[in-house]
Amino acid sequence: MPEQGLNVEINIRSSRYLIASAIETCRHCRAHTRVVALALPPRHETLSGDADGEAAAQESWEVASSSALLFFVEYLPEAVLRTLVQLSPGYRFDYSAASMASYFANHCAACGWAMDDHELHCEPDGAFLPTSEERAFAVELIPIDEPLEALAAGYAVDPQFLGLRVE
């Protein structure tokens, strides 16, 4: 995990954000547990740069015209992390053998099992990839009127449920 207080590179920033919250079934113990994710409204910014990692002069911030959902998040400011942990105490930095990477992940409240971001964000009917309007409205969106800076490897553009309720 990037050390808090060090100069950490970020690739996402926004003047405000939302917390997506849902109930998911743990694949390990079958208990129901609250999971959280970060959602961004339109007009957030993403860092773009050249593919071979050339000098920072090749990087620029682009304003996004649509909403997005972040996953495989590798860095968060302490204040944002505290807010997420208040809603889901099992949200913490961990290593995932499935993705062979470390990131902030949801963990089951009953057994502590890590709930992989791929399953929550990329599998149909995962907590944050609903396939029906009914499942979409089971995801609560909590607006946070504070800035966000993050480093995220996963970025879902205009997720179906988010586009229904955020402008």
In a domain, 4, yes or no: no
CA dihedral 167, 91, 133, 159 (to 10 degrees): 50
Please state, in angstroms and rounded to a whole number, the distance separating the CA atoms of residues 135 and 7.
39
Give 65-106 pLDDT, tens digit per residue: 999 999 999 999 999 999 999 999 999 999 988 888 999 999
pTM: 0.88
Average pLDDT value for the chain = 88
What was the pLDDT predicted at 161? 66
- Number of domains comprising the chain: 1
Q: How far apart are CA 148 and CA 30, in angstroms?
A: 33
Q: Is the pLDDT of residue 2 over 50?
A: no
**109 in a structural domain:** yes
Residues spanned by the domain of 156? 12-165
